[in-house]
Structure 1
Amino acid sequence: MSTAFALGYPSTKFEPTGLVDLSSKTERERLSGSALKGFFNLVSKWNIKDEDARELLGGISNSAFYEWKKNPSRLLDVDRITRISFLIGIYKALHIIYGDKLADEWVSLANKNAIFAGRTPLQYMLSGGLIGMQTVRKLLDARRGGV
């Protein structure tokens, strides 16, 4: 028995955007200022100490941190833009899943999920670096998707 149609994805009007090439200096220039502004807003809402905020950025000096905070118009490297992207994604997912108050407190609350082993998500991200941030982002995206 033959089929008169080919299997495939249903048609859609959605057109995915292309991936951002962070190796491109032009793309990083376009994103860096708004990424840093978003980062500083996020750490303020999460009440993160400056020392921890510096570590989330990959470990920068006090002087660089305060200069970036005062003047966020600068070119970030791929690692720092990626870190900020994960954190902003975490922030967004938390605000979709929880109300604003819990969403902004969540990173500082002890968590019984096996991933965190009783630590706060912030402690987990600080100790796990970029991979820790990616893991938290994936966890929240899965929760947001109902998994």
Structure 2
Amino acid sequence: MQLQPISVTPFEIGSTEISDSEAAALARTTVNLFNAWKITDAQACTLLGGLSPRTWARWKEGNAGRIPRDLKMRMAHLMGIHKGLRYVFKEPARGYDWIKAPNAAFGGKSALEVMLGGELSDLAVMREWLDAERSAW
């Protein structure tokens, strides 16, 4: 018996694309995370790349709808930031407070202020910084 070659596209091999159902779960988790961080609706919209207040209100009601790729990546970074904080701080409340505290590592700005630059790269930088902090142990 001769095996037939299988045609595989690059996206099928080790794909890291976030599915729609995963994105919906990320949206629900993001709402909960922002509640824990005690951030404003305006800050939430900025962190989510300029999400409209109306769309954010729908998210809070549990209706995220279709989520574009950029927004999926933003939420993935936010979850990475949350995970990093959970590793650094044993008490979740300390991590939630740290987000808003001035930090010499960021020129006296808080992590939230850095992330509120609005760019995807602002979230990526914070995630990388936290990953580096916890890997230094």
Deviates more, 1:70-79 or 1:130-139: 70-79
Give the structure 2 partner of residue 51 of structure 1.
42
What are the ranges of 5 or more consecutive residues in structure 1 without an aligned counterpart? 1-16
SS in 1 for 2:57: helix
Q: CA deviation at 1:62?
A: 1.5
- Note the 1:13-92 alignment, pairs <5 A: 18-22=14-18, 27=19, 29-92=20-83
Deviations 1:44-81 (A, max 9, x none): 00111111001111112221110122133522111111
What's the RMSD between the two structures over aligned residues? Answer: 1.7
Same amino acid, percent of matched pairs:
28
Partner of residue 106, structure 1: 98
Q: 1:73 to 1:132 in 2, by over 3 A?
A: closer
SS in 1 for 2:15: coil
From 86, 105, 126, give the equivalent of 1:136: 126
Deviations 1:106-126 (A, max 9, x none): 11000100xx21111111111
SS of corresponding position for 1:143? helix
Distance 1:144 1:85 in 2: 18
Contact 2:116–2:122 (CA under 8 A) maintained in structure 1: yes
Q: Per-residue deviation at 1:32?
A: 1.6
Q: Under a length normalisation based on structure 2, what TM-score does the superposition of the two structures give?
A: 0.83
Q: Within 2, Cα distance between the matches of 1:143 and 1:119? A: 17
Q: Which has the larger radius of gyration?
A: 1
Change in CA separation of 1:128 and 1:112 when aligned onto 2, cut-off 3 Å: farther
- Aligned-partner Cα distance in 1 for 2:25–2:94: 25
Q: Distance in 2 between matches of 1:48 and 1:19?
A: 33
SS of structure 1 residue aligned to 2:104? coil
Structure 2 unpaired stretches of 5+: 1-12
Q: How many residues align?
A: 124
TM-score (norm 1): 0.78
